Structure 1
Amino acid sequence: MQFIWKKGVKPLFSESEYDDKQFKDVQFAYETLDSVKFYDCTFTNCEFSETLFRDCKFSGCQFINCNLNLIKVVDSQFSQVRFSECKLVGINWTEAIWPKISIPGALAFEECTLNHSTFIGLELQQCVIRKCMAKNVDFREANFTKADLSSTDFSESVFGETNLTSADFSYSRNYQIDPSGNRITKATFMLPEAVSLLYCMDIQLKDE
């Protein structure tokens, strides 16, 4: 079943649970959504900027070309959720509820804007942040083991005590990662960008 709202028409999520539904052109900016569960739902071209998602659950859902800038995810849950070509600026993902036992691949971002967001201390093994703009994002103390972090711009982002074991930074750029302050065993980097890993060391680099 597909739910389609025309622009300018305010949608109402009157049910407490939605399963395998498609939402298109939903206009729900600056609203509050309380205690609603979404399973295997798809959101396309939806406007959720500055919306408060409180005690909501998203499992197996997809967001495509949606605006989620500055949303709040207080006490909400995310499992196997994929974002494609979405705006996700200024989100504090630590406000959500995360399971004590990490579920691999809980979040996937592809061709998204994640600037000024926070992932401090989260368990996000096998997370995907591919072909994204991740400027000034806080990744400190997070676990990104086996994460796909390829083809992403990490300008001004912070890594500290971050577990990047076996993470893939292929074709990524502008990252500043101190090898002595982060776990990068078996992580994949590419030249010339990988030279930045040496800048934190007490050594001199000379051109030929």
Structure 2
Amino acid sequence: MLDNYFDSKTFLKVDFTKSTIKKGEYDNCTFTNCNLENVHASNIQFVECEFVDCNFSNAILDNTAFKDAQFINCKMIGLRFNKCDPFLLQFSFKDCQLNFSSFYQLKIPNTKFSNCNLQEVDFTEAILLNSVFDDCDLKLATFDRTILENVDFRTAYNFNINPIESKVKGAKFSKENVVGLLTEFKVVVE
């Protein structure tokens, strides 16, 4: 049983590195300009929550539940989303810094990444069916045995995806970025 229940509460400029975030369920809450850097946020449920201008970098997310969570302009460097509770896991990211994070083996279809920095992010064996990478930097991101069917990469850039190792049926690419599918073949595109 959860310790605490918070419904429709707003957290503004809270530094959770100084005041511990309470374990429990946060339902329809808004976190604005909060600091959760290096915070132990394990075993907490965030249901239909919105995080705006927050710093989540290096937070510990063991068994953390994000059910329909939205992240806007958040710094989320080095997060291990693969440690989250996978049950009903759903989130979206807009204008976020997600460098060095991991989505290893996660089933996260229909995820929207908009204008995000996803450098060196691990998507190994993730299931991203019908997801969107809109204007995202995927430099050195790892797509290994990743299911990318019907994923929209048309405005993404700096990615390197091996279409033999990952499933890309129905994925969308632009003429300008399709070279990211050919890097593994060592061909020259001019």
Q: TM-score range by the shorter chain?
A: over 0.9
Quote the offset at 1:199 in angstroms.
2.1
| Matched AA of 2:67 | S
TM-score, normalization by structure 1: 0.86
Structure 1 alignment gaps of length 5 or more:
1-14
Q: How does 1:1-208 map to 2 (within 5 A)?
A: 16-29=4-17, 32-33=20-21, 35-99=23-87, 106-201=90-185, 204-205=187-188, 207=190
Aligned length: 188
Q: Distance in 2 between matches of 1:110 and 1:160?
A: 24
The structure whose Rg is larger is: 1
Q: CA contact under 8 A between 2:154 and 2:177: conserved in structure 1?
A: no
Structure 2 alignment gaps of length 5 or more:
none
Quote the offset at 1:31 in angstroms.
6.2
Quote the offset at 1:187 in angstroms.
0.7
| Matched AA of 2:156 | S
| 1:90-112 superposed Cα distances (whole Å, 9 cap, x missing partner) | 0011111112xx56xx0101100
Q: CA contact under 8 A between 1:151 and 1:172: conserved in structure 2?
A: yes
TM-score, normalization by structure 2: 0.93
Give percent identity, aligned residues only.
26
| Residues 54 and 152 (structure 1), Cα distance of their counterparts in 2 relative to 1, 3 Å cut | same
Q: Distance in 1 between matches of 2:185 and 2:66?
A: 38
Q: Distance in 1 between matches of 2:110 and 2:9?
A: 26
| Matched AA of 1:64 | V
| 1:136-187 superposed Cα distances (whole Å, 9 cap, x missing partner) | 1000000000001111000111000101110111211000000000011111
Q: CA contact under 8 A between 2:133 and 2:155: conserved in structure 1?
A: no
Q: CA contact under 8 A between 1:17 and 1:37: conserved in structure 2?
A: yes
| 1:65-119 superposed Cα distances (whole Å, 9 cap, x missing partner) | 11111101111111100000000000011111112xx56xx01011000000110
Q: Distance in 1 between matches of 2:8 and 2:154?
A: 34
Quote the offset at 1:36 in angstroms.
1.4
| Matched AA of 2:27 | Y
| Matched AA of 1:25 | K
| Matched AA of 1:55 | N
